[in-house]
Amino acid sequence: MPNPYRPEEDENTLNLERNFLAGDLICGIGYGIQIVLYSRCAWYLWKQRKQKRHTLLFLGYITILFCISTIFTAIQARTVQVVYVENRNYPGGPWKFFLASQHESINVIFYATFFLVTFLSDCLVAWRCWIIWSASGMLAASLVTLVPVMMLLSSFVMGTLWTLQSSRPGLSLYSKVPLAYGTSYYALSLSLNVLLTFLIALRLLLYRRTIVKALPEEYGKPYLSIATIIVESAAIYSVFAILFLITYAVNDPVNQTFIAVSQASQQIATYLIIYRLADGRAWGSNTIAPRKGRPNHGQSATPKSPQTTDLDIEFGTPISKDSHTFTSVCPSRQDSGYDRWYNSQERNCNVN
């Protein structure tokens, strides 16, 4: 039996409205997760402010990011009220009103905040890629990150044009020109994240393979699990960004859901990276690189033997074929399983 109360709108428009509401719900859920992660990260960073001055930079970064996300979430909620409550009788339905009011200040702020949080998160992932690859040397890190940095700058330009075009009177997110700019912007942003995810994951997988060879299986694998690689490379965002780009390019209504999921997942991925940095578990340029001074966590002070290369030192392989000592290949963790295993190996070596 036909629904007598069904709006006089086509099925595609109704699907857009359904997904728009679903996206608002997901946006709220994602913001709740961000509140928890921001609180934990800020607490960790604040405790370490006297020992590590750079933690204040991270604290400032996530605070700015959180404030922009808060504005974005508030604007999203207010937009739903304006579209579905205050203008429900607009000719053509709520979705027609949404498209016709893109030049309003509330929608301009929406696009601006969405673009800013995406750009800030992309900057963090690009920086992490440079840090992780810098263990192989500054030249290698510079060469690896040259293309991503150029793509980042290009995405900033395209994102700015997309924001300006989408908020012009008479145009909307789905108009021909803004759609072209938006597709180009998201293609650049997505390609950038996929590339960075690949570069970070590749470097960490190389670490993981060497660590598993250097340490017993029960102690080596936890330091570079698949979860670690996913978090460090922000792979969670890349997956949802791909889904959004595909559905947005073909103008499928479900893109309204995926844009909310991708936005939330990107911020969550950013906070997870910062959390690992604050907790001392994130991989950095000194995690694999050799250290100077007295040995620490299995770092040997023994000079390199003729059979040992710089690559062996960097990746934490044995100092020599007959040696039981390894270079430091794991983040420093007090009373870790690696420490216990290394101490037992050292005692056996002394006995022998």
pLDDT at position 34, please?
A: 93
More confident residue, 186 or 219: 186
Is the pLDDT reported for residue 326 higher than 50? no
Q: Cα 5 vs. chain centroid, distance in angstroms?
A: 44
Mean pLDDT calculated for residue range 237-265: 85
pLDDT at position 158, please?
A: 87
pTM of the predicted model as reported, rounded to 2 decimal places: 0.71
Tokens of 30: 């994602």
pLDDT at position 232, please?
A: 64
Question: Residue ranges of the domains in the chain?
Answer: 14-285, 290-352
What is the sign, positive or negative, of the torsion defined by CA atoms of 265, 268, 273, 276? negative
The class level of CATH for 14-285 reads mainly alpha
- For the stretch 307-321, pLDDT in tens is 333 333 333 333 333
- For the stretch 184-194, pLDDT in tens is 887 888 888 88
333-341 contacts at long range (C-beta below 8 A, 24 or more positions apart): 333/280, 333/281, 336/297, 337/218, 337/219, 337/222, 338/215, 338/219, 338/223, 338/297, 338/298, 339/297, 339/298, 341/215, 341/216, 341/219
Nearest residue to 79 via CA among 16, 24, 19:
24
Contact 288, 133 (CB under 8 A): no
Computed over every residue of the chain, the mean pLDDT equals 74
pLDDT at position 224, please?
A: 56
- What is the percent of the chain where pLDDT is above 90? 14
DSSP secondary structure code for residue 317 in this structure:
-
**Residue where the block lists tokens 């006297």:** 50
- For the stretch 123-170, pLDDT in tens is 988 888 888 888 778 888 888 889 999 999 998 998 888 877 776 766
Alpha carbon distance 155, 181 (integer Å): 10
For 199, the enclosing helix (H) or strand (E) is helix 176-214
